[in-house]
Amino acid sequence: MTRDSQDSAQASVGGPAQVDSVVVLGAGVAGLAAAIRLREHGVAHVAVLERAERPGGLAVTLQFEGHSSDLGPHRLYTEIPEVKRFYKETAGPSMYEVERRSRMFLAGRFLAYPPAIGELLRAFGPRRLARFGFSWAWTRLADLGAGMAKWTCEGYLRNAFGKALYEDLVGPYARKVFKTDPLRLDTEAARVRVSAGSLARMARRFIGSKGRDDSAALLTRFHYLKGGAETLVRHMADKARSLGVEIHLQHEAQRFEMEGQRPVAVGASAAGGERVFRADRFISTIPLPDLAEILDRAASLHPRTLEAARSLRFLNMIVVLVVVNRKTVSRDQWIYFPEPRFVFNRVSEPKAFDPGMGPPERSALCCEITCRPDVDLWPETDEAIAQRVVAGLVQSGLVGRGEVCAVHVHRLHNAYPLYDLNYGQRLHAALAGLAQFENVLTAGRQGLFNYNNMDHSIFMGFRAADRAVFSKRPAQAWLGELERFRGFRIVD
């Protein structure tokens, strides 16, 4: 942190507090960013507790059959100047620029993404495309769905795309990704994934029209890291350790020790038994419902707070890695599959990001499937899931059945916050209730139940560390700052 930004942080919260030690729960990018910032602020003792065998969270890179793959496509792109500087300072030598190439598979053919009007004509035909256009224009003219758009994801998307395109494509894809009827989803589920401007641009492309802002439609170039997203994590962990941060892997937070209503230590399960870590303040990046359960065991949360936290649900994700006996499968980094007949939502090819992520003679595909816990595909065996994924790839023509050499299935818990109806009120109730513990802050994608990118999580970690050090009542100061994070958008 620069001296100017540090002075600004101190001024904004009324001067520095006396903080000697902080424990961070979770060693994803938010937790590591917080730990680095804490040491830069001069906190003497910083410990990070991580239940997994390695740091990284959702930014780890899987190794299999001589291949490497992120958990879906990761890009080093940010519009936050502070994070942009951090990327360059921390991982600059490992970064390089990539030209974006992506497609979507629709109506039996691969289309460039975003699709051009000529491709859409071939895919849908002039009558169907005209139907999309008239429906969208009528929606714009009559402002149909504007009232409904205030309340549900379906209303928001109908209002943005028109009834015909929503019913034929957009609605089924939203249902496929979120595994929930869009009528039961908050508008934020649509708004956070693609901004309103981008929705309108996409709708115009489908009807062959252009707008003034279409030149900045989607990301065309981005930075990537040699070896995958975990390269950034390794650089961050190395930097944290060089600053004196203790990173304790395979240490899962289980309980807090209290002095009155103030947590003073956290007990973590470890291979040699429980270890206790005392601290002045705590920053948690573990899933918000899990933090609430741990605090409830220590201090008996108000029933409304605990109920609100328990009601926040995440989607799990199944990542299916398919090794193919071909040097490369396509030139695309990723391909969208919006149609419900395919179990996967998106397919990415690691070697299209970095040719070194696989041997020269073979490539691999990373297929993403979202699931609700204990339903959808989640209860099926890995073998059954692998068979369905391979069948879909073959059906699309992306690979031939005889080209598949091996399949690996990897399961992820708590991958995406599920923005169901009225989640915002329940989230606020949970966060406000937990703010009674003045020295505990929750941050990051899981910790704030906030669907965001890697750069956003890093920024959250920085800001949580600032509040932990420079606020005399950090939980209340943090609660007042959280609205700024709701403006984050996923950049396509």
The predicted-structure confidence for 205-232, as pLDDT tens digits, reads as follows 555 544 444 433 457 889 999 999 999 9
Question: Which of 183-192, 317-326, 386-395 has the least mean pLDDT?
Answer: 183-192
115: DSSP letter: P
Residue 7 is predicted with a pLDDT of 39
Whether domain 3-9+18-59+74-91+226-312+421-487 has CATH 3.50.50.60: the reply is yes
Say if residue 33's pLDDT is above 50. yes
The encoded tokens of residue 142 equal 């009559």
331: DSSP letter: S
The whole-angstrom separation of Cα 227 and Cα 229 is 7
The whole-angstrom separation of Cα 157 and Cα 192 is 12
The whole-angstrom separation of Cα 167 and Cα 164 is 5
Q: Where do you find CATH 3.50.50.60 in the chain? A: 3-9+18-59+74-91+226-312+421-487
User: E strand or H helix at 8, and its extent?
Assistant: helix 3-13
- 229 Cβ contact list (under 8 Å, min separation 6): 56, 59, 60, 61, 70, 71, 74, 454
Pairing of β 221-225 and β 440-442: unpaired
Question: Which of 124-133, 165-174, 323-332, 452-461 has the least mean pLDDT?
Answer: 124-133
Q: Where do you find CATH 3.90.660.20 in the chain? A: 313-417
Residue 235 is predicted with a pLDDT of 97
Question: Which of 41-45, 74-78, 323-327, 338-342 has the least mean pLDDT?
Answer: 74-78
Say if residue 140's pLDDT is above 80. no
Say if residue 172's pLDDT is above 80. yes
Residue 156 is predicted with a pLDDT of 86
Residue 16 is predicted with a pLDDT of 56
Mean pLDDT over 430-448 rounds to 97
The encoded tokens of residue 425 equal 């009120």
Residue 9 is predicted with a pLDDT of 46
Say if residue 487's pLDDT is above 80. no
Mean pLDDT over 344-351 rounds to 97
Mean pLDDT over 183-199 rounds to 70
pLDDT bracket for residue 491 (50, 70, 90): low
Mean pLDDT over 310-329 rounds to 97
Give the three-state DSSP class for 103.
strand
Supply angle C-alpha 149, 151, 154, rounded to 5. 55
- Do 350 and 68 contact (CB within 8 A), yes or no? yes
Q: Which CATH architecture has domain 313-417?
A: Alpha-Beta Complex (3.90)
Q: Is 375 exposed, middle or buried (0-12, 13-18, 19+ CB in 10 A)?
A: exposed
* Side-chain half-sphere CA neighbours of 472 within 13 A: 4
Mean pLDDT over 364-385 rounds to 96
The whole-angstrom separation of Cα 214 and Cα 204 is 9
Say if residue 329's pLDDT is above 80. yes
Question: Which of 72-81, 167-176, 200-209 has the least mean pLDDT?
Answer: 200-209
For the chain, give the percent of residues with pLDDT over 70: 89
Say if residue 309's pLDDT is above 90. yes
Say if residue 191's pLDDT is above 90. no
